[in-house]
Structure 1
Amino acid sequence: MKSLTKILVCASVGAMIAVGSAYAGSKLNLFVNGRSYDTSALDIQVKNGKVYVPIDRLAEEFKGKAVYDTKKNEVRVTLPDSAEQAIQISRLESGLLPTTAKEALDTWVEGIQTRNGALQYAVFSPELRASTKKKFEDFYWVTGGSSPHMTSVDHLKTKPLNKTTIQYSFEYGLASSNWKGRGSAVVTVKKFTNEAEENWLITNIKMKNLGDTGITIGIEPFQKK
């Protein structure tokens, strides 16, 4: 039961509730992804800084359903498609986490070449994710443009900055229907460690020309000498 509640609240809601003191029947302001919701039927309560909502009412509010089986003494919660998709996306991102610094770089390059913002975002560090998520969403996770686009990467140089940080500098080809050019970039990758695993994630991206590949999110210009 606890796991079902956690999935529903975390995956379906992601909500922020602004409250002062509260009690059953009080009028609270509920915002989900910036959208205001009527809370009159939810019976939201706040006790000791924690938010309590009947799971059946919460499920119904977000187009789901919670059913109590008296014979089996269990609660079955049907989640809306968006919640299932959120779980699926989380699993896909976990599968894409790089185990080497070069893998992080290669995945980002592939994301640029295929104009896939979700692929780029998957190998960003937590801090870089926080600063870029809104812009990826604004462009519906599509980056780049019709032209030019990044072709092959060459002249790759690897520079260890310390035991957990590697900096890659490289050049890349640019191509459009009637034009070819060159560009250059520097990508910094850092090792992040938790209890379960170690992953390498991109913390900084610099390009000589920010407009080389059209809409490119999370990049900075080279520092002027």
Structure 2
Amino acid sequence: MEKKEVFVVKKSTILFSVLILLLTFSMGAYAATKYNFTFDGKKQSLDVQLINNKAYVPLDDITELFGGKVTYDSKSKTYAVTSKATESTIQSELSKTIKDVTVTIDKVVQDSDSLKIYVTYVNNSDDKISNGSDLSKIVANGKQYSYNSKFNFERWYKKENVPHADTYIEPGVTAEDVIFYAPVDADSINILIHANWTDYRFNNVKITK
């Protein structure tokens, strides 16, 4: 009986030792270690986890090295990664130049009162131009909406510090404007600005709410 009890104790001890050893190896395999990275000449020390011979680094840290950013939507459980290159591409799509006249959609904001399109006109031509705000149109969910003079005038009149470009913009002038539309049930819209008798089209412009 005494030998059997000794054997049981030794067996338990061995099993316990093996578990500790396995746990130690497991933790060691997944423990983060500092490694040096170089991205386009920019050096940075990051925590790296080596798992099955693959290097895993924090998403936020690696995205920042590329000049981007990470956002998280808790409702949809979605991480959105925007790189610096992506932001530049998006910005270029919201600015168009035709015959030395540049039209830029700075932002589109919507609240319970209205949808507001912030526009900047730059006239680098030799002649005065007509801004296209009063000839603008938007498309949301397959439905077209035209400019409404009364709707816009009421909001220019009631709101302070709302930019309103003149009908004609002189050479060398940069002018800002805000175009008002009734709220739409959409996350993005297509915009047509008919500046200087030329169509400037901007598709899938995101609405900020």
Say whether the fold is shared (TM-score over 0.5): no
TM-score of the superposed pair, with normalisation by structure 1:
0.26
Higher relative contact order (CA 8 A, sep 6+): 2
Q: Which has the larger radius of gyration?
A: 2
* Larger fraction in strand: 2
